[in-house]
């Protein structure tokens, strides 16, 4: 596995396992067990996925050394004040039976009345859980350039270390990608396979044949080449392995540019 380093020195694996919509109850435990077997050690979770309890059980059953895992969770939208953030983080840790998260992210920026101030107050909560040692890194999801500029305006103690956004072939996020890179914010891609819909694209099929890979592998590799950490999810063991098996080749500059223009 390859890693990316956050500006505070923490290493994150470049591939994580997405846990949204991976089934209900006991099915979740089975999927996570298969993900362990396939080699995943980074799990991207969220309060809103409603499966923390079952993922916690799978983690406990696995007996995998905690230090070899990278566990990321997300704060849901209704937690807006500093105190709300701290108690939500503690609640998620308890549900998963953990002492700390490797990263904790705001799931969506707040939109509504007094938005700048509310997003600032929430971020103070994120800084508090980081300073308390409940999490090893803090970041956001779905933030735009103006959301980051807002935090800068308030002179926050730490800027977000991560921004998780939707990214896959067919989405153009160049301005935001450049901004994050210039501000030491590591990018993560949610839905790196475009919800499975882009896998039938004829141009991608042609490129995949050329490299003797599947279209999914080409999409994931493209995301990596664009500097993203990827979070593919699959409930199928064969596809779980396929999605990890992407580190032994590179896409040519010409093919990356072809995919850029899809």
Q: Contact 119/107 with Cβ under 8 angstroms?
A: no
Among 242, 244, 251, 259, binds ligand A2P (CB under 6 A): 242
Mark 212-231 with x for binding to ligand A2P (rule: CB under 6 A) and - for no binding.
--x-x---------------
Query: Distance of CA 48 to CAs 76, 106, 240, Å?
Result: 6, 11, 23
Any contact of residue 239 with ligand A2P (CB under 6 A)?
A: yes
Is 7 designated active site?
A: no
CB of 205: closest distance to ligand A2P in angstroms? 12
**Closest separation in Å from C-beta 20 to ligand A2P:** 8
- For β-strands 3-5 and 11-13, DSSP reports them as antiparallel
**Binder among 16, 18, 56, 125 for ligand A2P (CB under 6 A):** 18
Least separation in angstroms between residue 145's CB and ligand A2P is: 24
* Count of residues in the chain: 262
- Considering CB under 6 A, how many residues would be counted as binding ligand A2P? 18
Strand (E) or helix (H) holding 119: helix 115-131
Question: DSSP letter at 141?
Answer: E
Catalytic residue among 47, 49, 130, 222: 49
* Under 8 Å between Cβ of 12 and 43: no
Under DSSP, is residue 245 helix (H, G, I), strand (E, B) or coil? coil
- Please state, in angstroms and rounded to a whole number, the distance separating the CA atoms of residues 234 and 21: 9
Stretch of residues binding ligand A2P (CB under 6 A), selected from 46-54, 55-63, 105-113, 188-196:
188-196
Q: What is the DSSP string of 51-67?
A: -HHHHHHHHHHHT--GG
Residue with tokens 């503690």: 90
Q: Does 39 bind ligand A2P (CB under 6 A)?
A: no
Considering the complex, what minimum distance in angstroms separates the CB of residue 240 from ligand A2P? 8
Residues with catalytic function: 49
| Site of interaction with ligand A2P (CB under 6 A) | 18, 191-196, 199, 214, 216, 232-236, 239, 242-243
């Amino acid at each position: 596995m390859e890693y990316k380093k956050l500006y505070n020195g923490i290493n994150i694996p470049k591939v994580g396992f997405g846990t949204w919509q991976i089934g209900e109850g006991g099915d979740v435990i089975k999927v996570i067990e298969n993900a362990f077997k396939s080699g995943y050690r980074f799990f991207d979770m969220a309060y809103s996925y409603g499966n923390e309890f079952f993922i916690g059980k799978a983690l406990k059953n696995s007996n995998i050394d905690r230090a070899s895992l990278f566990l990321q969770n997300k704060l849901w939208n209704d937690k807006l004040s500093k105190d709300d953030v701290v108690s939500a983080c503690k609640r998620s840790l308890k549900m998963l039976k953990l002492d700390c998260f490797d990263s904790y992210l705001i799931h969506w920026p707040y939109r509504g009345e007094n938005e700048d101030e509310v997003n600032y107050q929430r971020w103070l909560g994120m800084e508090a859980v980081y300073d308390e040692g409940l999490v090893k890194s803090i970041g956001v999801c779905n933030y735009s350039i103006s959301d980051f500029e807002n935090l800068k305006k308030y002179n926050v103690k730490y800027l977000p270390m991560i921004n998780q956004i939707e990214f896959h072939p067919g989405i153009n996020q160049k301005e935001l990608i450049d901004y994050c890179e210039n501000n030491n914010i590591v990018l993560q891609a949610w839905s790196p396979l475009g919800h499975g819909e882009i896998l039938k694209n004829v141009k991608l099929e042609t490129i995949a044949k050329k490299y003797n890979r599947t279209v999914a592998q080409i999409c994931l590799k493209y995301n990596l080449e664009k500097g993203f950490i990827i979070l593919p999810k699959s409930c199928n063991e064969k596809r779980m392995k396929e999605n990890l098996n992407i580190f032994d080749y590179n896409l040519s500059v010409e093919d990356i540019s072809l995919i850029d223009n899809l």
